[in-house]
Structure 1
């Protein structure tokens, strides 16, 4: 049984003690064979009950509830309650309110602790990933420089080859820093999305032209799903959408099969277009799909670092699409291929 007000507890104790006193008086008169005085018995009941109520209520109020209310008030101040709520705290004697406030406060603290733990785990993972990504090109550059200092500098063919390799490692570090900067601006909302009407079909063709040489290195064919006979006008930031398409096509080429293909399709969906980038490459295991848009997440870590890249491409893609208030999804079968699809709002 829960007693949540001092008056209730004091009343129960007072009544019990009053009845006990009256009962004791009745029992005493019976044992001593004294005439039972009903007026005296009633007076004892009322007097003892009243005095007990006053005393018990005072004790509970001063030594129990006052301390509970002090704890409650301190907790409420941490929650930055209003002046009106503070006045209510000062007057309240309802433990249900106290319990509710304390429970809410405890739940908020637990939630904060969980979030802090998640952030700390993310921070450790992020620092570990950044250091790992930077370590490889830095060690490569160091090795090339040491080789040159050991005598290779005097050989024009060797020194040019090693300088070119060092330059590629520097380019890799620059790309990583630039991608991190872009991702940080997207996540913090600093980077503006400058929406305008543009032809996404033309953007796709521009991306194909830009990446044609890279695709030819693996004999991969870049193609449209069909011959589109009209412009596909959408609303969005053309530069950012080009970045999305370029990142998706680059990934498809990197992990594609020799003599494979990368196919981009555009589908009409009422007020939106659905853009699909499909390939017949190595695919993504089902267990990895939920984390595929996380920064630095790699499906095949050893192979991923062999083919280069910052490990931030898909994270950037996701944030750009989110910034357009659109959606992106992936479906994939390991060993068969992958399809990334995202929506864009049609131009009016």
Structure 2
């Protein structure tokens, strides 16, 4: 109440305050002229109040002064209530105008001013605007991602489909010299169709992993055992690439809880990535270690380094360091994006460091 009174007094011009004070005294005087004779009339005419009014008659002058002052205060209070309504209405309109200007970027949030009574309201409205801006930004980002996804998918599907249709036209028109060339065309069609199948499966799995509400299996997984199995399963590909996989471990308890099939996909992708881009280094090193609450897996290849400008985007879907190499290697551009999604679904993290001589992918998974 005290703060409100002070704020309203500061809000009013001085001439208006003086006018209200004078008006209160004048109206109190008029009220006294009207009411006091009625009281004295009761003193003369009413036996019921006779004894009380007889006593008050000794304090008649004091009563007049008290009555006058109380009446002045009553009128001042009425004027205060009137101006308080104007004060509140003024600031509500001002806050509305400021919020409109803020939305239109005419002012910044730091320029907003509001008295203490409206501070919470102003902060709530500002928070709503910020949330609204964030929602609009997120909608635009999703729209952009959707457009990029459509563009990327169309680009990646068009090339193998064009080849498939082209070679099928050659076969359909009997434009081949002999059965050997026919089988060659069929093999190309098969490879392109297999690439399309891989791409479609990867897109499906990536989209599936982006769903934050998917249910992951929760089973005990021995990471040392899993990695050994994956190395054995990949041995033929590793040997065909002229490479060797070296596995080392420094763990006391390499067990975690999670979805074994999904985590196996992570390390399959990392091994395939190391085979594709690390052949020059001849070796793939996998090192397993753990701490009290974390298991860490480092997968190292010794191929050409990833350029610094590409490192921040290496886990983006459809991102390729060499824009043309996916056609040679058969990659979909989604493997690392899928790996990142799976690791994050397990409340873990995946990072990459690349320098001249080695590229290290680090996966950290929580125990328990």
Common fold: TM-score over 0.5: yes
Query: 1:249: how far off?
Result: 0.5
1:339 aligns with 2:360: yes
Residue correspondence of structure 1 range 1-348 to structure 2 within 5 A: 9-10=11-12, 12=14, 14-15=16-17, 17=19, 53=79, 57=83, 60=86, 64=90, 94-152=117-175, 155-225=178-248, 232-258=254-280, 260-333=282-355, 335-346=356-367
Native 8 Å contact 1:218 1:259 kept in 2: no
The number of residues matched between the two structures is 303
Counterpart-to-counterpart distance in 1, 2:213 and 2:77: 70
Query: 1:230: how far off?
Result: 9.2
Query: 1:213: how far off?
Result: 2.6
Counterpart-to-counterpart distance in 2, 1:16 and 1:338: 81
Counterpart-to-counterpart distance in 2, 1:186 and 1:7: 62
**Structure 1 stretches of 5 or more lacking a match?**
22-45, 76-91
Match of 2:280, SS state, is coil
Q: Mark the CA change 1:68 to 1:229 in structure 2 (over 3 Å): closer, same or farther.
A: closer
Match of 1:131, SS state, is helix
Q: Deviations over 1:66-97 (max 9, x none)?
A: 8669x69xx9xxxxxxxxxxxxxxxx994445
What stretches of structure 1 move > 4 A for 4+ residues in a row? 3-8, 10-13, 16-21, 49-56, 61-69, 92-95, 228-232
TM-score (norm 1): 0.72
Query: 1:153: how far off?
Result: 5.6
Native 8 Å contact 1:14 1:52 kept in 2: no
Q: Mark the CA change 1:54 to 1:340 in structure 2 (over 3 Å): closer, same or farther.
A: closer
Counterpart-to-counterpart distance in 2, 1:279 and 1:342: 15
Counterpart-to-counterpart distance in 2, 1:119 and 1:257: 37
- Cα root mean square deviation, aligned: 4.0
Counterpart-to-counterpart distance in 1, 2:265 and 2:340: 11
Query: 1:273: how far off?
Result: 2.4
Q: Mark the CA change 1:98 to 1:266 in structure 2 (over 3 Å): closer, same or farther.
A: closer
Match of 2:310, SS state, is helix
Match of 1:274, SS state, is strand
Query: 1:255: how far off?
Result: 0.6
State the structure with more CA Rg: 2
Query: 1:247: how far off?
Result: 0.3
Query: 1:258: how far off?
Result: 3.5
Query: 1:248: how far off?
Result: 0.2
Query: 1:19: how far off?
Result: 8.8
Q: Mark the CA change 1:56 to 1:323 in structure 2 (over 3 Å): closer, same or farther.
A: closer
Q: Deviations over 1:203-232 (max 9, x none)?
A: 222222322232233311122136x89994
**Structure 2 stretches of 5 or more lacking a match?**
24-71, 101-114
Higher relative contact order (CA 8 A, sep 6+): 1
Counterpart-to-counterpart distance in 2, 1:113 and 1:312: 27
Native 8 Å contact 1:274 1:343 kept in 2: yes
Counterpart-to-counterpart distance in 2, 1:183 and 1:232: 27
Q: Mark the CA change 1:283 to 1:100 in structure 2 (over 3 Å): closer, same or farther.
A: same
Q: Tell me which moved more, 114-123 or 173-182.
A: 114-123
Q: Mark the CA change 1:271 to 1:51 in structure 2 (over 3 Å): closer, same or farther.
A: closer
Native 8 Å contact 2:326 2:332 kept in 1: no
Counterpart-to-counterpart distance in 2, 1:51 and 1:343: 69
Q: Deviations over 1:149-191 (max 9, x none)?
A: 3323673212221122112211112212211222222221354
Counterpart-to-counterpart distance in 2, 1:4 and 1:147: 92
